[in-house]
Amino acid sequence: MEVILKEDVANLGHRGDVVKVADGYGRNFLLPRKLALQATLANKAVIEQMKAAAARRSATEKAQAEELVVKLQPLALNFTRKAGENGQLFGSVTSADIAAELATQGFELDRRKIQLADPLKSLGEYTVAIKLHREVTAHVKVQVVAEAGEEAAPVAEAAVAE
């Protein structure tokens, strides 16, 4: 089945591309989610208008992404987590945690745009890539520090008192 993509689809193509996909994938995923149109003669005529509009939209999205990169570059995110003696975290810092922290600082970003291969599971300073546009990537510093020993001390005192 040939379809015309209305949106960028990962591992398939970009907006306006005519691609050949399996019938079930097109019928059950792409068409119901309005990610694609069936490639008929009438739709192929419409595709030229869509490509021009997509090029204009992509240019504005790229400009907005470049403005956002300038705002994100000086940003440093700090996470305080419980950690063991060797610097390993009890838990991890995930892309959802980073997106939530960015939201508290006024940047609403989808967690899927944060390019984090594996969750951060040890203390330290990291540079995390955020893919804002096909051609624009921002880099944010993320620092993971251990919690202060304030919570561990009262628990130990309570155990001694018993």
pLDDT exceeds 60 at position 161: no
Pairing of strands 120-122, 124-133: unpaired
Instruction: Give the Cα separation of 91 and 94 in Å (integer).
Output: 9
Cβ burial, residue 6 (10 Å; 0-12/13-18/19+): middle
Q: Residue 135: its pLDDT value, please?
A: 86
pLDDT exceeds 50 at position 75: yes
For residues 51 and 154, the model is more confident at 51
Q: Residue 100: its pLDDT value, please?
A: 93
**Domains of the chain and CATH, by start:** 2-62 (3.40.5.10), 73-154 (3.10.430.100)
pLDDT digits (tens, 9 = 90+) for 106-116: 888 888 889 98
